[in-house]
Amino acid sequence: MTASSAPVVRARGLTMAYGAVGILHGVDLDVHRGEVLALLGPNGAGKTTTVEILEGFRRRSGGEVSVLGSDPERGDDAWRARIGLVLQSWRDHRRWRVAELLTHFAAYYADPRDPAGLLDLVGLTEQAGRQVERLSGGQRRRLDVALGIVGRPELLFLDEPTTGFDPEARHEFHLLVERLAREEGVTVLLTTHDLVEAERLADRIAMLVGGRIRAHGTPAELARGAAARAEVRWTAADGTPRRERTADPSRLVWELHRDAGGPIAGLEVRRPTLEDTYLHMVHRPDDAAAGTEGNTNSEERAA
Amino acid sequence: MTETHPAQDGQRRAVRTPWRAGLLRGGIELRHLLRNPKEMSGHLGNVVVALVVAGLVGDDVPGTRTPMAHLVLAGFAAYLIFQVGLLNLPQMLVTEREEGALLRLRATPGGIHAYLVAKSLLVVVTTVATLAVLLALAALLVDGPLPQGPAGWVTLLWVTMLGLLAVVPLGAAIGAVLPNPREALALIMLPAMALLFTSGAVFPLTSLPVPVQQAASVFPLKWMAQGLRSALLPDSARAAEAAGSWELPMVALVLSAWAVLGFLLAVPLLRRAARRESGSRVAAGIRRAEQSGVPAG
């Protein structure tokens, strides 16, 4: 993992409770500079609460949080200027025209991006003079992205950014996020339900289940940690389909070849997908949760 | 504000002053208002109603030689100020809260400050422009009243400004607590109407039962109307006032008291509303709006 200086986002023992109802039970999270981190988890796991605490929109009950070197609860305007937000539910400023709105929001920052160039970047040049309420859902979201990055943020929060996108718009959006992260070093915290998107964009993934980070690491590390094994399928000599799950598919295939003394019909090795890992994590009982960071787990059972 | 964060790297980005953004924003919102036929007709509709009513009443104010139409026009002028602060403003705030405009400004450096600047500009310009249109058209079409001499203009100015100060913070406080734009209108409209008819705005207060007069004199509209009458009507018309005089010190006192009360309420309530604004709240509000079958706004 990146051994850079201080992480851009750092949470330790973050807790949140509304009255007697606990939402977060000690979240530990690091996001490093220039990294894209995807925060995954089922509804009600505390994703939104976590992100809103990091954005400075909610007061935590306990724990330590530092975002860009400040406690988000005490973030001032200079701190705000370094953060960009793209939320899923914005439908504001409907009467404004696209370019007018973007130009206006550029006025709040000392060194904003050029609005015209930004419209080009998100593919809304043709819609520059259109009223915001006349944009399609995908166009509206791309405008939200443009508004989120007009102040050249160092840290960008993306909340379910591609909900309602068609595949092409989604692809374009992914290229844009990759460009921001790789070329401009923007740190991105992404929450999504789209596991393919998470796998595609994220350097690391953190899974929040039941108010705790159940696991975090690269997708491969997560798969190991979750003990989601690879599946090997083949057709046995008697013609029956066979499948077996293993942590070491290479060895299994080699053994199969050795035993068969030749090619094997219908041989297929299926690596665990992020979805396998995710489902495994979400349904795993609580007690096995502690201390999973990419290290292999020995107590697993093949599904 | 300028405490240094050791963990932060040197290039601390300066933020622009929110005044400039706020004035820009106010200008753009005014332009949108002018281009929006629905909202414009809302503002001008009141002017038309006032002119029609003024054209229809023929008598003099009892006991004076002042036309009743003048009293009605002064009363409507007061009601226009009242409406901008206590009806239009809360509705605007609730709508913008629900759509997420407030959240976006909260996420923007200096955004909330600029929002307040923009709304102040919008409210002042809307009020002054509507009053100017009302008085100008009334003078042209129905022989309406205009201030008598410089003193009258000065009174008109300070009563208008103090009237705004009495209702705008209060309206902001209401806008901060009301649940959503659909309920907001219903909740505010009824009391506003009741006050319009009990505050001596459209017919002399003295014709109403004393308990009603007393109740109405707690609220700012009665005093705004009285102050505007003193600016617009000849001095002889004060014979028809309940106290036999314009009671200008009392007008200033009551309106100031409402202004102070409004600010005391508005500051914490707006802070609380802005603090509570977050993505999940906006999402929940929009879901509710969709369920009730009315598009937000």
Amino acid B1: pLDDT: 41
Same domain, A128 and A103: yes
- Has residue A5 got a pLDDT over 80? no
A154 touching B (Cβ < 8 Å)? no
Q: Which H or E element spans position A187?
A: strand A187-191
Nearest-5° Cα angle at A223, A38 to A42: 45
In a domain, A301, yes or no: no
Q: How confident is the model at residue B19 (pLDDT cuts 50, 70, 90)?
A: confident
> Which range, of A126-140, B82-96, B273-287, averages the lowest pLDDT?
B273-287
Closest C-alpha among B68, B106, B117 to residue B271? B106
pLDDT tens, position by position, B248-266: 999 999 999 999 999 999 9
In a domain, A276, yes or no: no
Q: How far off is chain A from B279, nearest CA to CA, in Å?
A: 6
Selected residue of A57, A80, A134, A158 to mutate for chain B interface (largest B Cβ count, 10 A): A57
Same domain, A56 and A127: yes
- C-beta atoms of B99 and A94 within 8 A: yes
Same domain, A248 and A132: no
Chain A, residues 51-90, CB within 8 A of chain B, namely: 51-52, 55, 57-58, 66, 68-70, 76-78, 80-83, 85, 87-90
Write the CA distances from A142 to A87, A194, A269, integer angstroms. Answer: 11, 18, 38
In a domain, A33, yes or no: yes
Q: How confident is the model at residue B6 (pLDDT cuts 50, 70, 90)?
A: very low
Q: How far off is chain B from A90, nearest CA to CA, in Å?
A: 5
Residue of higher predicted confidence among A166 and B87: B87
Same domain, A209 and A75: yes
Closest C-alpha among B151, B136, B128 to residue B234? B151
Q: How far off is chain A from B130, nearest CA to CA, in Å?
A: 22
> Which range, of A47-51, B218-222, B273-277, B283-287, averages the lowest pLDDT?
B283-287
In a domain, A21, yes or no: yes
Q: What are the phi and psi torsion angles at A42 (to 5°)?
A: -70, 165
Write the CA distances from A204 to A7, A40, A84, A200, A221, integer angstroms. Answer: 14, 11, 20, 10, 9
Amino acid A26: pLDDT: 93
- Has residue B195 got a pLDDT over 90? no
Amino acid A35: pLDDT: 94
How far, in Å, CA of B137 to CA of B146, rounded?
Answer: 11
Same domain, A70 and A200: yes
Say if residues A192 and A198 touch (Cβ distance below 8 Å). yes
- Has residue A285 got a pLDDT over 50? yes
Of B110, B275, B282, the CB nearest to A108: B110
Same domain, A159 and A212: yes
Same domain, A102 and A72: yes
In a domain, B188, yes or no: yes
In a domain, A257, yes or no: yes
CB contact set of A47 (below 8 Å; sequence gap of 6+): A39, A40, A41, A191, A208
**Residue A197 belongs to domain spanning:** 9-223
- Has residue A289 got a pLDDT over 50? no
Q: Which tokens belong to A113?
A: 């991006």
In a domain, B295, yes or no: no
In a domain, A92, yes or no: yes
**Residue B83 belongs to domain spanning:** 18-278
Say if residues A213 and A29 touch (Cβ distance below 8 Å). yes
Q: What is the DSSP string of A100-166?
A: HHHHHHHTTBSSPPPHHHHHHHTT-GGGTTSBGGGS-HHHHHHHHHHHHHTT--SEEEEESTTTT--
Which chain A residues touch B95 with a CB distance below 8 Å?
Answer: none
Same domain, A144 and A157: yes
Same domain, A181 and A262: no
Q: What is the DSSP letter of B59?
A: S
In a domain, B24, yes or no: yes
In a domain, B42, yes or no: yes
Of B7, B108, B110, the CB nearest to A69: B7
How many distinct structural domains can be found in chain A?
A: 2
- Has residue A297 got a pLDDT over 50? no
pLDDT tens, position by position, A26-81: 999 999 999 999 999 888 888 989 999 999 988 899 999 999 999 999 988 999 99
Q: How far off is chain A from B278, nearest CA to CA, in Å?
A: 6
How many distinct structural domains can be found in chain B?
A: 1
- Has residue B9 got a pLDDT over 60? no
A290 touching B (Cβ < 8 Å)? no
**A158-187 mean pLDDT:** 87
Helix (H, G, I), strand (E, B) or coil at B23: helix
In a domain, B291, yes or no: no
Q: How far off is chain B from A28, nearest CA to CA, in Å?
A: 19
What ipTM describes this predicted complex? 0.82
Interface of B with A (CB under 8 A): 1, 5-8, 12-16, 18, 20-21, 24-25, 28, 32, 36, 96, 99-101, 103-104, 106-111, 114, 275, 277-280, 282-283, 286, 296-297
Same domain, A199 and A234: no
Report the mean per-residue pLDDT for chain B: 85
For the CA atoms of B115, B117, B122, B123, the dihedral, rounded to the nearest 10 degrees, stands at: 110
**Over pLDDT 70: what percentage of chain A?**
90
- Has residue B72 got a pLDDT over 80? yes
CATH code of the domain in which A211 resides = 3.40.50.300
How far, in Å, CA of B154 to CA of B173, rounded?
Answer: 29
Say if residues A267 and A234 touch (Cβ distance below 8 Å). yes
Amino acid A225: pLDDT: 67
In a domain, A1, yes or no: no
> Which range, of A69-78, A154-163, B193-202, B276-285, averages the lowest pLDDT?
B276-285
Q: What are the phi and psi torsion angles at B128 (to 5°)?
A: -60, -45
In a domain, A84, yes or no: yes
Same domain, A202 and A164: yes
